[in-house]
Amino acid sequence: MKTFGSDITTDDIVDSLAFFDSWEDRYRYIIDLGKELPPMAESLQTEENQVKGCQSLVWLSEHLENDRLFFEADSNSHIVRGLLAVVLAAYNTKSPAEIQTFDIEGYFEELNLIKHLSPSRGNGLKAMVARIRETAARIAAMA
């Protein structure tokens, strides 16, 4: 199984999405990315790991290994699983400092993503990013 953030990078996703002419095809690609996310153990699908601000159910857990954050994520929505994959390509396997300095808005702009999402999906995407960045800031502060 490929790891988002190391085997599948933001550049890979930008390049792949640029290949498609229609947003219908791009959505299909994003959904397919979500199918590549490793399944999250049900034991991690807890209230504590639930991302607030998402219309769908979204869970996100992390662990720190050698100053790198590794995330597990899941959702009950296929498109949201795909959006999680897009986000994890940017943040998974990175140090807290790299997460805090990564230009996620520029990445989303390059993907031309936000304006093609419903407002509720866009807010959910922002909530996922906020949760990851808050986690990175908390861990960086403990170091």
| pLDDT tens, residue by residue, 53-89 | 888 999 999 999 999 999 999 999 999 999 999 999 9
Active-site annotation holder among 30, 51, 54, 83: 54
Predicted structure pTM score: 0.95
Q: What structural domains and CATH numbers belong to the chain?
A: 10-142 (3.90.1010.10)
Alpha helices in the chain (DSSP H): 10-19, 23-35, 78-91, 96-101, 104-111, 119-142
Residue of 62 and 1 predicted with greater confidence: 62
Helix (H) or strand (E) holding 62: strand 58-65
Q: Which amino acid is at 50?
A: Q
54 is a catalytic site residue: yes
